Structure 1
Amino acid sequence: MVDRGFALETRLRQREANDLKRTLSPVDSIAERGYFAEPSGGDLPVLESEEALVFASNNYLGLTGDQRVQDAARQAAATVGTGSAASRLVTGDTLVHHDLERLLAETKRTDRALTFSSGYAANVGTITALDPDVIFSDELNHASIIDASRLADADVVVYDHCDADDLRAKLTARAERDESTEPTGADDRSDESWLIVTDSVFSMDGTVAPLEAICRAAEEVGAWVMVDEAHATGLYADGGGIVQSESLEDRVHVQMGTLSKALASQGGYVAGSDALIELLINEARSFVYSTGLAPPAAASASEALHISRYGDVRERLWENVAHLRDGLEALDLEVLGDSQVLPVIIGDRRDALDLAAGLRERGIVAPAIRPPTVPEGASRIRIAPTATHDEADIVNCLEAFQIVGKKVGLF
Structure 2
Amino acid sequence: MSGDTDAAPADRTRSTTDRGFDPKARLAEREQRGLRRDLTPVAEVTARTPIADDPKGDPVAFDGPEQLLFATNDYLGLACDDRVQRAAAETAREVGTGAGASRLVTGDTLTHRALERDLADTKEAERALVFSSGYATNVGVIAALGPDVVFSDELNHASIVDGCRQAGAETVVYDHCDPSDLRGKMDERASRSQSTGDESWLVLTDSVFSMDGDVAPLADICDTVEAFGAWLLVDEAHATGLYEDGGGIVQREGLSDRVHVQMGTLSKALGSQGGYVAGSEALIEHLLNAARSFVFSTGLTPPAAGAAREALRIAREDDTHRDRLWENVRRLRDGLEDAGFEVWGETQILPVVVGDREDAMALDARLRDHDIVAPGIRPPTVPEGTSRIRVAPMATHTETEIDRCLTAFREAGHELNLL
Instruction: Give the alignment's TM-score, normalised by structure 1.
Output: 0.97
Are 1:141 and 2:156 an aligned pair?
Answer: yes
Q: Which of the numbers 81, 85, 90 marks the counterpart of 2:96?
A: 81
Task: Select the residue among 333, 339, 342 that pairs with 1:331.
Answer: 339
Q: Contact conserved, 2:52 with 2:64, CA < 8 A, in 1?
A: no
User: What do you get for the CA RMSD once the two structures are aligned?
Assistant: 0.7
Matched with 1:288 is 295
CA shift, 1:66, in A, is 0.3
- Pairwise CA distance, 1:49: 2.9
Name the structure 2 match of 1:373.
381
| 1:282, distance to aligned residue in structure 2 (A) | 0.8
- Determine which of 174, 177, 181 is the counterpart of 2:189: 174
The gaps in structure 2 that reach 5 residues or longer are: 1-15
Amino acid at match of 1:205: D
Moved more, 2-11 or 278-287: 2-11
1:377: Cα distance to partner? 1.2
* 2:393 equivalent among 371, 375, 385: 385
Q: Which amino acid aligns with 1:298?
A: A
150, 153, 159: which is aligned to 2:168? 153
CA distance in 1, matches of 2:50, 2:388: 24
Q: How far apart, in 1, do the equivalents of 2:63 and 2:174 lie?
A: 45
- Measured in 1, the distance between the counterparts of 2:22 and 2:82 equals 48
Q: The residue matched to 1:250 in structure 2 has which SS?
A: helix
For 1:319, the aligned partner's letter is E
* SS of match in other structure, 1:53: strand
Q: In 1, Cα distance between the equivalents of 2:404 and 2:197?
A: 59
1:3, 1:287 → 2: CA distance? 37
Match of 1:124 among 136, 139, 153: 139
Tell me how far 1:190 sits from its aligned partner: 2.1
Using the alignment, how far apart are the partners of 1:392 and 1:204 within structure 2?
26
Paired with 2:141 and 2:64, the residues of 1 have a C-alpha distance of 45
Alignment of 1:210-229 (within 5 A): 210-229=217-236
Would you say 1:190 and 2:222 are equivalent positions?
A: no
- 5 Å-filtered alignment, 1:194-209, equals 194-209=201-216
Q: Deviations over 1:223-277 (max 9, x none)?
A: 1000000000000121110000001011000000000000000000000000000
How far did residue 42 of structure 1 move? Answer: 1.4
Q: What code does the residue aligned with 2:400 have?
A: A
Measure, in 2, the Cα distance between the counterparts of 1:48 and 1:346: 31
Q: Which amino acid aligns with 1:291?
A: T
1:237-252 pair list within 5 angstroms = 237-252=244-259
TM-score by length of 2: 0.95
Amino acid at match of 1:38: D
Shift of 1:10: 1.2
State the AA in 1 paired with 2:218. Answer: L
Question: Which structure 1 residue ranges, 4+ long, deviate > 4 Å from structure 2?
Answer: none
For 1:222 and 1:383, the matched residues in 2 are separated by 39
1:401 is aligned, of 398, 409, 414, to 409
Identity %: 62
* Distance of 1:160 and 1:27 partners within structure 2: 38
Partner Cα separation in structure 1 for residue 32 and residue 339 of structure 2: 33
2:264 counterpart residue number? 257
Distance apart, 1:310 and its partner CA = 1.1
Paired residues, number = 403
* Amino acid aligned to 2:350: L
Q: Deviations over 1:117-154 (max 9, x none)?
A: 00011101111111000000000001111011011010
